[in-house]
């Protein structure tokens, strides 16, 4: 039986966050299809709840991708986003789940390599840590 493919959720802001995969696509870089892009207006919109729910619904890892902190369309949005992610990470740690599964990244619309790099980084995390939780009941 083939091992279960990783499931990765990426909450990307509608500004630089979503421009990033577009830039990668334009420059012809390919990456693993496991990533599920969910668009939000700004990473400041992301709530800890969304991340936790994604993990509960079967994601093995979640990342949040916003603008560079000094170049955020909504000024402090990606800093807010980072705070939320940090909060979730500390919650996960308390619950005994590897906090590496949740990560915040920043990018800009011209960084063509960034999105593929993030996807492969998160895939590596899942490959190293294995799928999250319920291996038994899924198979």
Partner 1 sequence: MKGQIQVIGCKSCTEIPQLIDMNKLIEKASTMDLVVSTVLVGAVCDSKSIKQVVQEAKEREVDRVVVLACPKKVVNPALLAAFKKAKVNEFLVEYVNIRDEVVLPHMDDPPRAQAKAETMMVAALQKVMGLKPLETLKEQMRTRNVVVLGGGASGRKAAETAAKTGAHTIIIEKGTKSFKAPGVLMQNSVLLKSKGYGGNFVLTIRAGEKVEELQCAAIVVATGGGWTRLNGPLAKACKSALPLYELDEQIRAGKKMEGPIVIVDSPDPAGKSMQVRDYAWDESLELAIELKRRSTDSDITIVFQEMRAFGLSELRYKEAAELGVRFIRYDATGIPKIDPKEPNVVSVKDLAQGETIRLRFGTLAFASIPANDDNEGIADTLRIPMSPDGGIRHGSIQRGPVSTPRPGIFICGSALFPKTKDIAEEEGMVAGELAGEFASKGIIEYGGSVAEVTQEKCSACLTCIRTCPYEAPFIGIANKAEIRTQACQGCGMCVGICPSKAIELRNCTDDIIMQETKTMLRGDF
| Residue numbers at the binding site for partner 1 (CB under 8 A) | 5, 7, 9, 15-16, 18, 21-22, 24-26, 28-31, 33-34, 36-38, 40-42, 44-47, 49-50, 53-54, 57-59, 67, 70-77, 80, 84, 109, 116
Task: Specify whether the CB–CB gap between 47 and 12 falls below 8 A.
Answer: no
For residues 7 and 60, give the distance between their C-alpha atoms in angstroms, rounded to a whole number: 5
Task: Name the minimum Å distance from CB 1 to partner 1.
Answer: 14
64: left (phi over 0), alpha (psi -120 to 50) or beta: beta
For residues 81 and 47, give the distance between their C-alpha atoms in angstroms, rounded to a whole number: 8
Q: β-pairing, 8-13 with 35-40?
A: parallel
For residues 58 and 63, give the distance between their C-alpha atoms in angstroms, rounded to a whole number: 14
Q: With respect to partner 1, which residue has the nearer C-beta, 9 or 102?
A: 9
Task: Name the minimum Å distance from CB 103 to partner 1.
Answer: 16
Reduce the DSSP state of residue 136 to 3 states and report it: helix
Task: Name the minimum Å distance from CB 95 to partner 1.
Answer: 19
Q: With respect to partner 1, which residue has the nearer C-beta, 56 or 93?
A: 56
Q: With respect to partner 1, which residue has the nearer C-beta, 18 or 126?
A: 18
Task: Name the minimum Å distance from CB 31 to partner 1.
Answer: 5
């Amino acid at each position: 039986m083939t091992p279960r493919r990783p499931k990765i959720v990426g909450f990307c802001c509608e500004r630089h966050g979503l421009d990033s995969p577009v830039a990668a696509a334009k420059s012809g870089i390919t990456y693993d299809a496991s990533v599920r892009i969910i668009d939000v207006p700004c990473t400041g919109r992301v709530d800890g709840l969304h991340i936790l729910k994604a993990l509960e619904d079967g994601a093995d890892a979640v990342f949040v991708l916003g603008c560079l902190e000094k170049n955020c369309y909504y000024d402090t949005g990606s800093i807010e986003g980072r705070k939320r992610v940090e909060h979730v990470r500390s919650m996960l740690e308390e619950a005994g789940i590897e906090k590496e599964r949740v990560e915040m990244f920043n990018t800009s619309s011209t960084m063509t390599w960034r999105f593929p790099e993030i996807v492969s980084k998160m895939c590596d995390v899942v490959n190293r840590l294995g799928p999250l939780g319920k291996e038994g009941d899924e198979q």
